[in-house]
Amino acid sequence: MGEAIVSLEYERNIKEWLDTADTETWDQGKNWYHDARAFSRWLADHFGVTPEQAAGVVAVLSPRIDWDTNMRSAVAVCANWKTGNATVSAILSESGIVAYGANVEKALRILNTGDVSYCDTGRDCHKRDGKPCAAIHGPKVSAFYRAILGHDVGTIDVWACRAATIAPLEALHGLPMSDVRRAGIPGERHTAIAAAYGEVGAEFGLTSAECQAIVWLTIRIYWNGRINPNQETLPF
């Protein structure tokens, strides 16, 4: 299948998800990054760090956790760091804190060094200019970081990828466990999927970030059982 045809398929699916979303979800999606930015600013003010550091902490902790856990984890990391003797094990031992240890280390690195540079390449990038790669690393995390700060970028996580490749009716009826689209790993498709959200967003009078957020909320509703009993519940 040619790249142009695949891109049109992404756009068609994204449009269908937008059409599926109700008014409440549209409103929530349009405000999602505004609210995330407000939380990030509160984090910065409360713990005496820069807005960029706070956004970086939130972003690097985000992989494979839900937003409420993301916020709790960010507060826990910053609170422990403020004591002057934060450790990864101490942070992860707190009730309700779920994050990868490596990501907690990245968050502490941001707080300790103030380095909020980002690298949006994939996992094959381990060093940059002979130095350890940026803590804010990878296409999804770096995009999330920038979106929290107010840049118009869509964050292509597993849900944004699933929505671009799976139509609402398919999600509603349930996909076979063998369907590779369930994994939602963008990989080399990241740029094309991000571009599709931008194109569809413009058509609907939305920014890329708003479009992605509305679709992200909608597919999670379908997938996690409030509407659809045919998919497993996932925590992220």
Residue 228 lies in a domain: no
At residue 49, the 3 state secondary structure works out as coil
Residue 231 lies in a domain: no
Task: Report the alpha-carbon distance of residue 173 to residue 167 in Å, rounded.
Answer: 10
Residue 173 lies in a domain: yes
Residue 232 lies in a domain: no
Percent of the chain whose pLDDT exceeds 90 = 65
Residue 126: what pLDDT? 58
Residue 39 lies in a domain: yes
Quote the mean pLDDT of the chain.
Answer: 88
Q: Dump pLDDT digits (tens) for 128-144.
A: 555 657 899 999 999 99
Q: Which domain holds residue 91?
A: 3-223
Residue 234 lies in a domain: no
* Number of domains making up the chain: 1
pTM over 0.85: yes
- Whether the Cβ atoms of residue 91 and residue 104 lie closer than 8 Å to each other: yes
Task: Report the alpha-carbon distance of residue 55 to residue 74 in Å, rounded.
Answer: 9
Q: Shortest CA distance to 140 belongs to which of 70, 45, 44, 224? A: 70
